[in-house]
Amino acid sequence: MAFKDDSEERFLSDITLNHDGTLLYQLVGNQGQVIIFDVSGDGELKMRYVVSGLPEYGGYGLLRIDELFAFMS
């Protein structure tokens, strides 16, 4: 899997998949965003949407909520 940002302005850092591998979450550490992709059966990525609102600089690390609940139980 690969995502190419032709603008070269995004620092693509941490990633995680949802529990069944159909969604990929990509942290953009220098823009305060998480890009969410659909993952097809053959591994192809299609951008679904971009979530903004994180600090623009210094964002790192992703944790899915279902992982957190599994850790706490």
Q: Is the pLDDT of residue 20 over 80?
A: yes
pLDDT > 90 fraction of the chain, expressed in percent and rounded:
19
- How far is residue 25's CA from residue 21's CA, in Å, rounded to a whole number? 10
pTM for the full predicted model: 0.72
Average pLDDT across the chain, whole number: 78
Mean pLDDT for the stretch of residues 18-31: 87
